[in-house]
Amino acid sequence: MLDYIYDSKELFKRIKNRSSLDNPEVFATVMNVMRDIRADGDKALRKYTKQFDKCDIEDFLVSDIEIAKAYDDIDGSMLGIIKESGKNIREFHEKQKQDSWMWEKSSGMKLGQRITAIDKVGVYVPGGTAPLISSVLMNVVPAVVAGVKEIVMCTPPDINGKIDCKRIVAAVEAGVSKIFKAGGAQAIFAMAFGTQSVPKVDKITGPGNIYVANAKKLSYGYCGIDMIAGPSEILIIADANANPSFVAADLLSQAEHDVMAAPILITFNKEIADEVNIEIEKQLEKLPRKSIALESLLTYGSVYIARDKWDAISVVNEIAPEHCELLVADPDEYIEEITNAGAIFIGEYSPEPLGDYWAGPNHTLPTGSTAKFYSPLGVYDFYKRTSIIKCDRSALKKDYKKIAAFARAEKLDAHANAITIRFAEDEDE
């Protein structure tokens, strides 16, 4: 089931060859959608909703009546779960809040940084076969904690033009201002450029398929984005003490996401891998999404037989996985050395879905090795930082000739003049 790999370079090549942004046909389709949305707004949005979601939408905005019905329809226990999950997420993200500051560097010179929230944010939440209710909470709650004034959400309707009650209720509970029935690349561009119904936003966050990923990439510059999310991945380091059934279950938890998901096991002898493979075959038979998980396993499922702990750590840091689980007897010896990972789960009772739904840290994580330079979504993604510079005449006078010399070295005489003109009288003396 999982391919056995003994050469780390072979593993890197296999896992990293999953880019969803290099398909010219998809890119051409998304470009056409962008042009139409910019030109025709709601008219184009209706056209593409009809084409891709197979339904006619007259009013994209989810009404108060629809929201009230969603609360009537949702199971009471599920509502309680959504509320408690949202509370956990909020408590964690409250720790990420930042404050403005000022620093008196020297007499007459004050420097600082002002922290302000982005004014308007758009959140995209996929629907389809796996409506990601948790993604509503994970994207909206940090924006609310940051102090974003307006949060709009786009999510695809079903063929009847409806959105399921759980997505609506999660959005309201999290703090969404408006919910729109729109999906795919067309929804991303509606938020990036604005239509007659959907307001233009300053930043877009949220996961999506290959079309959504391309749309977010093309939208960057017209608005901000969180990251370009690719297919999911999980990397588990398991030693002889690991429970094979737990390892298999955790690998399958990501394999069922997407046929391009990469479930990776790193271990130290083939016997452990054999036991995990046996468990995978048993558990796979019980999964409703068996066909998706099976294709993921056959295409990207991998076991790397590491020489030792340091070999395993170096492979983790090179792959920079979205999720990394440490099912080893001595996790503390690994944790300090793993520098590239979206999230690290320590011990056999910290499975990846704990992070997806409940613990509190954000599950919107960098994929495709981007954990080398990206971080999980957080409150900081909804802040703007403004530098503050205040200098009086005496402080500037101490260094103005050096600043002017620097400007002239760059052949920018107007820059130099903007400094020296303030001391022209002094130089005439």
Q: Look at residues 148, 158, 166, 157 and name the one whose alpha carbon lies nearest to residue 226.
A: 148
Q: What contacts 18, CB < 8 A, 6 or more positions away?
A: 230, 231, 260, 262, 300, 368
Cα separation, 124 vs 135, in Å, equals 9
Q: What is the DSSP letter of 342?
A: S
Cα separation, 369 vs 382, in Å, equals 23
User: What is the reported pLDDT for 19?
Assistant: 64
Kindly state the helix (H) or strand (E) to which residue 196 belongs, with its residue range: none
323 noted as active-site residue: yes
In the chain, % helix, strand, coil (3-state, to 5) comes to 50, 15, 35
- For the sheet containing 262-267, what is the strand order? 3-5, 302-305, 262-267, 233-238, 323-327, 343-346
Task: Record the tokens describing residue 355, joined without a space.
Answer: 């992070």
Cα separation, 16 vs 19, in Å, equals 7
User: What is the reported pLDDT for 408?
Assistant: 97
Q: What contacts 386, CB < 8 A, 6 or more positions away?
A: 113, 114, 116
322 noted as active-site residue: yes
The sign one gets for the Cα dihedral 156, 162, 164, 165 is positive
Cα separation, 429 vs 425, in Å, equals 7
Cα separation, 156 vs 50, in Å, equals 11
Q: In sequence order, what DSSP letters do the residues of 135-152 get, joined into one string?
A: HHHHHHHHHHHHT-SEEE
User: What is the reported pLDDT for 426?
Assistant: 80
Dihedral-angle region of residue 203 (phi above 0 means left; psi in -120 to 50 means alpha; beta otherwise): beta
Asked if residues 193 and 222 have their Cβ atoms less than 8 Å apart, the reply is yes
Asked if residues 261 and 254 have their Cβ atoms less than 8 Å apart, the reply is yes
Cα separation, 91 vs 136, in Å, equals 16
Q: What is the DSSP letter of 223?
A: B
Phi and psi at residue 62, in whole multiples of 5°?
Answer: -70, 125
User: What is the reported pLDDT for 183?
Assistant: 96
Q: Give the active site residue among 323, 325, 352, 363.
A: 323
User: What is the reported pLDDT for 235?
Assistant: 98
Cα separation, 179 vs 413, in Å, equals 52
User: What is the reported pLDDT for 125?
Assistant: 96
Q: Give the active site residue among 173, 233, 275, 322.
A: 322
pLDDT tens over the chain, length 429 residues: 788 988 899 898 888 777 656 788 999 999 999 999 999 999 999 999 999 999 999 999 999 999 999 999 999 999 999 999 999 999 999 999 999 999 999 999 999 999 999 999 999 999 876 778 999 999 999 999 999 999 999 999 999 999 999 999 999 999 999 999 999 999 999 999 999 999 999 999 999 989 999 999 999 999 999 998 888 899 999 999 999 999 999 999 999 998 999 999 999 989 999 999 999 999 999 999 999 999 999 999 999 999 999 999 999 999 999 999 999 999 999 999 999 999 999 999 999 999 999 999 999 999 989 999 999 999 999 999 999 999 999 999 999 999 999 999 999 999 999 999 999 988 665
Cα separation, 254 vs 301, in Å, equals 11
